[in-house]
Chain A
Amino acid sequence: MLRFLLNDTLVESDELSPDLTVLSYLRDYQGLCGTKEGCGSGDCGACTAVVVSLVNDKLCYRSINTCIAFVGSLHGCQLLTVEHLASPGKLHPAQQAMVDCHGSQCGFCTPGIVMSIFALTKNHTRPAAASGQRDVIDQALGGNLCRCTGYRPIVDAARMALDACCSSSYRDTFSAEAAATIAQLKSLQSDDSTAHGAFYRPRSIAAVCELRAQYPDASILAGGTDLALLVTQRHRKLKQIISLQHVEELNYCTERDAHWCIGAAYPLADFQQHFEAQCVDIGALLKRFGSTQVRNRGTVGGNIANASPIGDLPPLLIALRAQLVLQSSVEQRVIAIEDYFIDYRKTVLRADEILVEIRIPQSSLPAAADGPIVKIYKISKRLDDDISAALAVFQLTMKGAEVSSLSAAFGGMAAVPKRAVALEQVLTGKPLDEAVLALADAALEADFKPISDARASEWYRLQVCKNLLRRLAVEVNDSRTATRVIDYVG
């Protein structure tokens, strides 16, 4: 039985097909057409709604793209849609600010933008005047495209809504009714059912492995931000889905044996929060990883397991020398992440295995005592919510002017995310000067034969990665020279 709260109504169903998206459910089954379909691929945010879940007995509000979320993922949660935001006769501050600031023109992206601003007001408690505000707003709304306004009034509306919601005297209806919502969600959690139809919600790794053996063709669902594209873009049907969302033993981040051990179903949003304190560049990368909606659903394991050559985490994890734990019902094995990827979308993961844990050596992070330098360079056409044309990650230590150790990995440069072995060899033990960089260029050409596609040409990919070595050299040798337009404040 699938049970969740749709706004303030309890929904219970065994009938809904496993691959039904939340958006389709809202529009086609519930007639709630306020939530719009702009792209059906999680790239525009018009379909944004907010999922409320219980975390440590508190309500946690997260925006999601409903077009790439399956309805089964709502089990035990509340889904808030744009229709439910206003109280009778009174708009929510997120709505009122959008009206007052002329934040809508054609209005089609507006419900999604309102929901993203609403989620921002629930997750951010400082008023808008605080410093760094634009950054917070950009992050909350980077996954919401608007083609009409040019965003200026939307930024203003987000500021106004934050100001209204953060005043000490203000509580919106959702905060006022939090106790009742918590009670309702708790009663939903007491439900011990583990499926609706062929949508399976196992609670343990053992149960996942069992289901995997039972349904070898079933799709493994983590966040679904990639899997759902099979349904919405390729028009495939997923007959059985095994969701990892309720496997608590896959959702954690903990210290063990000098490693950060991360459960495969650990959401990217949590990964971002945890690791931005460990490494500035990881924080910067995660800000540009998909959008808030994607990071709220997508998981660390999902970004690895789907084996895309352009996922942003694998090059990072390769350069950090992370390990993966793969488990079947009979055995567990630990491999270096760089050995996981075989070829385009091919991995060593066996049909009876799942990825359960990612282990990052703490010594590979700058936060460690005598920790290395970690530099991450993401190159894409757009700052927000864009897939990397190329991604370069360097973990290095310097001894004087010389590189004493280097681990380098690249995304977008080959059929798999890949370590730059020749490059590492050329640079290790050498200073980062022009003569060495000339050798490094040749090493990069030996390491990579990139392709031309919609994002960039072969020439650009190779050239920009060569140039990123120069950026690295400047940043390592001379920290005073500005090297990144993204961070530049004029």
Chain B
Amino acid sequence: MSGDSRAQDSAVKHVTGAAVYVDDISRTSDQKYVAIGGSSIACGQIESIDLTDVLASEGVTDIVTVDDIPGHCDIGPVFPGDPLMTSGAVDFMGQAIFAVLADTADNARRAVLSANISYHEETPLLDIQTAIENKIYVRPPHRMQRGNAQDALPDAQHRLAGVMTVGGQEHFYLEGQVAIARCDEDGGVHVQSSNQNPTEAQKLVAEVLAIPMNAVVIETRRMGGGFGGKETHANASCCFAALFAVRNRCTVVCRLSRRDDMIMTGKRHNFQNRYEAGYKSTGEIEALCFELAGQCGSSPDLSDAIVDRAMFHSDNAYYLPNVQIDGLRCKSNTVSNTAFRGFGGPQGMIAMETVIDEIAFSLNLDPLDVRKRNFYGETSRDVTPYHQQITDFNVPAIVDQLEIDSDYRRRREAIIAFNKSSAILKKGIALTPVKFGISFTATHLNQGGALLHLYSDGTLHLNHGGTEMGQGLFIKVAQIVSAELGLAVERIKVSATRTDKVPNTSPTAASSGTDINGMAALRAARELKQRLLSHVTETFDCAESSVQLSAAGVVLNNKVVQTWSELAHSAYMARVPLSATGYYKTPEIYYDRDNARGKPFLYYANGAAVSEVIIDTLTGESKILRADILHDVGQSINPAIDIGQIEGGYIQGVGWLTNEELVWDAGGRLLTDGPATYKIPAISDVPEQFNVALLADSPNAADTVMRSKAVGEPPLMLAISVWSAIRQAVAAATDSVAFPQLNAPATPEEILRCLSALKSR
């Protein structure tokens, strides 16, 4: 049974412009604005910093450098390496050196331009290949293995090897990084921030200011998009705003311009993936070695976990009897890369899908058949490279149904015929599955908290640790509480996420928002419901079994005997505590990283997509003609919200794999520093035929909230089908002379390069 397709909690406020984002918070007369001064080189040492002209600029009232930080300078989330400002070593272009405060944002941004900073410049490390060759890492390599791939490879019937590069991705949340800070009477600070991780921001602001955590409140009502880009990279804005607010005892806004945002904050890791596979004539894989090298940028940030997640997903849906996966965390003099929807998973998964495509190509088989032959089994062939047993594996069923629903086989035949008759335009089609592990791989983050207040008029205030970035978390959790309590959703107010309401929260990340916070809220609701039911049975002297709580109120023997406001008032008068907390920690999961074994994921979210594309072999231009998706969200709490995540994830993935290309120059300057040069998908990129369905009757076998499944990240990887289909089209255009070494993103230029390389063979 599915839940209601209710609108996003703020839908009406969105369309009327009434939804308040951080920069919309009404201005106070003492409000001031920050701009950050970044380095103009990518690598070297600062020799001198002269800010005389900056201070003399119109409207400037304060300047800070590293010496003005009262507490910690390093705001690295897990490992050190992310100084809020630097006065010595420069590790990437745009690294913060100073910040100014001025009366307007314009004046602050203009003032920054007049800094005189001299450097001793060194040759920057910019390419991943050099880092791999010289073993220049931000964290040590990690290996997962099962069986013995090195021994099994030489014995295999067939072998292949290859290397591919996978591009990074700019988040391009429509609302850039922003925080507003006000100091309080105790020297503490209240920061409203567009932030996926308020608790982390609270800790870092406290550390930077050298004040206790209880002196800092972080509040996040909503984000104008996050996608992982506000998991750790929202914290610097909070720290700058807080630092200036406390120094100047005024309200301070730190909002990055789009350009600064794109230059100064991290992106999805680009990867270089090497693979070597041994397989049978049927296409069954016998042995596989991966080397997955992620370009982490200047610091560790979250890269250890991100490259781990790439490794965890390099099997995708396939059983690998002998497997060895090495993950490298390469350093470079570029901005530190960070979380982005999928968190490394997509970069690992695409390597696996490439191997499947290449095996199919070499054996002249339909790649779908090779995929099916390698799927994990139900009762055997069911252990991952990290030794987690696969259970409740529904990828084969999803793929079988989608194959029929999308008419894959007939269309593939039609495409083969089309390609024979079309000289310039060529088509391709691909069906690719997704199996994505759900849980933070850092076990301690798998906890959630919630706080419910029932007021004496029968309305409820709901807080939890998750943040709303558009994914519909607030309405989903409200629906969960509503279903448990029987209270109408309209009587439930979900308000801003605040560190003084629910403490020690985890980031809203890893697709975990509903799983952990929804479950915590459910438990709080259960607690509250129990108290109310006890009160009702006392009031009416009845058995609990004869009582129900419904939207109308208390139902006793099928008759409404109290409205919610009467119930709440009477419970209050009877001194029943009407506030409840709920707490949830994900059971069962663990990962022994030293031995690369464990059960890091509570369950897997699965889906599959069929994409049909057409390419122009003269220009490399491409277009998606049709997409069909079948995705498993367990028992959906809100089908409309879930479908929105699936469609949005798919198109975001399409952007990553087609047109979104990050370009740096030889000096380490990001050339694609705005939407004029960095092209995320626009409306015409959406296929004319776009069929999305939720897998029916599939309650999560794991004990999750309302038997639902997480949906935030997994659909992004459905877009691998587009990239794979493009490669099919390239192969068709070149008479399958060799396997197309297509890299991502498949821009028109990359497609033409790939075609040219094959044609010149």
Residues of A within 8 A of B (CB): 27-28, 31-41, 43-44, 46, 81-83, 85-86, 91, 94-96, 98-99, 102, 104-111, 114, 134, 137-138, 141-142, 144-155, 233, 235, 377, 379-387, 389, 453-457, 459-460, 463-464, 467-468, 470-471, 474, 481-486, 488-490
Contacts and interface: CB of A to CB of B under 8 A. Distances in A.
Given A106-B470, A151-B651, A386-B679, A114 B659 contact: no
Contacts of B717: none
Interface in B702-739: none
Nearest to B677: A454
Contact of A453 (B172, B472, B671): B671
13 contacts: A32-B17, A82-B15, A99-B7, A102-B5, A105-B471, A111-B14, A145-B174, A149-B651, A235-B110, A377-B619, A381-B679, A467-B618, A485-B621
A106 B175 contact: yes
Interface in B386-426: 422-425
Contacts of A470: 618
A99 B225 contact: no
Contacts of B644: 102, 105, 148-150, 153
B154 to A, nearest CB: 39
Contacts of B623: 383, 485-486, 488
Given A38-B175, A106-B470, A81 B17 contact: yes
Nearest to B262: A39
B355 interface: no
Nearest to A481: B423
A16 B26 CA distance: 21
B530 interface: no
B248 interface: no
Given A83-B16, A488-B614, A106 B222 contact: yes
A255 B14 CA distance: 47
B676 A41 contact: yes
Nearest to B612: A490
Contacts of B258: 38-41
Contact of A150 (B104, B226, B650): B650
Contacts of A464: 618-620, 748-749, 752
B91 interface: no
B615 to A, nearest CB: 7
Contact of A108 (B16, B174, B680): B174
Contacts of A85: 16
Given A106-B222, A141-B683, A463-B752, 7 more contacts: A27-B23, A33-B23, A104-B10, A114-B15, A149-B647, A453-B663, A484-B616
Interface string B681-697: 11111101010100000
Contacts of A27: 23-24
A189 B700 CA distance: 66
B14 A107 contact: yes
Interface string B21-57: 1011011000000000000000000000000000000
B218 to A, nearest CB: 19
Contacts, number: 276
Contacts of B680: 145, 147
B423 to A, nearest CB: 6
Contacts of B622: 485
B106 interface: yes
B709 to A, nearest CB: 19
B400 to A, nearest CB: 25
B280 interface: no
Nearest 5 interchain pairs by C-beta: A34-B17, A106-B470, A108-B224, A107-B14, A150-B651
Given A142-B682, A460-B753, A43 B174 contact: no
Contact of B16 (A28, A82, A453): A82
Given A105-B8, A235-B113, A483-B424, A31 B753 contact: no
B669 to A, nearest CB: 10
A106 B616 contact: no
Contacts of B13: 107
Nearest to A134: B688
Interface in B106-130: 106, 109-110, 113
B183 interface: no
Contacts of A387: 676-677
Contacts of B690: 152
A142 B619 contact: no
A109 B659 CA distance: 20
A150 B618 contact: no
Contacts of A490: 427, 612, 614, 625-626
A235 B172 CA distance: 22
A382 B682 CA distance: 8
B161 interface: no
Contacts of B758: none
A141 B678 CA distance: 18
Interface string B165-185: 000000111111000000000
Contacts of B470: 104-108, 148
Contacts of B651: 149-151
Contacts of A111: 14-15, 17
A98 B15 contact: yes
B663 A454 contact: yes
B685 A382 contact: yes
Contact of B424 (A39, A40, A474): A474
A464 B752 CA distance: 8
A85 B619 CA distance: 43
Contacts of A141: 683
B683 A107 contact: no
Given A98-B15, A99-B15, A155-B683, A382 B749 contact: no
Contacts of A233: 259, 674
B227 interface: yes
B621 A379 contact: yes
A39 B674 contact: yes
A104 B14 contact: yes
Contacts of B743: none
B421 to A, nearest CB: 10
A153 B422 CA distance: 33
Nearest to B649: A150
Contacts of B104: 28
B15 A152 contact: no
A154 B648 CA distance: 11
B619 A33 contact: no
Contacts of B747: 381
B728 to A, nearest CB: 15
B647 A384 contact: no
A104 B11 contact: yes
Contacts of B756: 463
Most buried by B among A109, A141, A148, A463: A148
A173 B129 CA distance: 62
Which of A107, A144, A464, A483 counts the most chain B CB atoms within 10 A? Answer: A107
A88 B107 CA distance: 39
A470 to B, nearest CB: 6
Interface in B652-685: 652, 659, 661, 663, 671-672, 674-685
Given A102-B8, A467-B619, A86 B16 contact: yes
Contacts of A155: 683, 686
A142 B648 contact: no
B175 A36 contact: yes
A162 to B, nearest CB: 15
A338 B676 CA distance: 26
B368 interface: no
Identify which of B104, B424, B619, B692 gathers the most chain A CB atoms within 10 Å of its CB: B619
Nearest to B682: A384
Interface string B214-228: 000000001111110
Contacts of A154: 683
A40 B257 contact: yes
A459 B18 CA distance: 49
A110 B427 CA distance: 35
Contacts of A46: 174
Among B14, B641, B651, B674: residue with most chain A CB under 10 A = B14
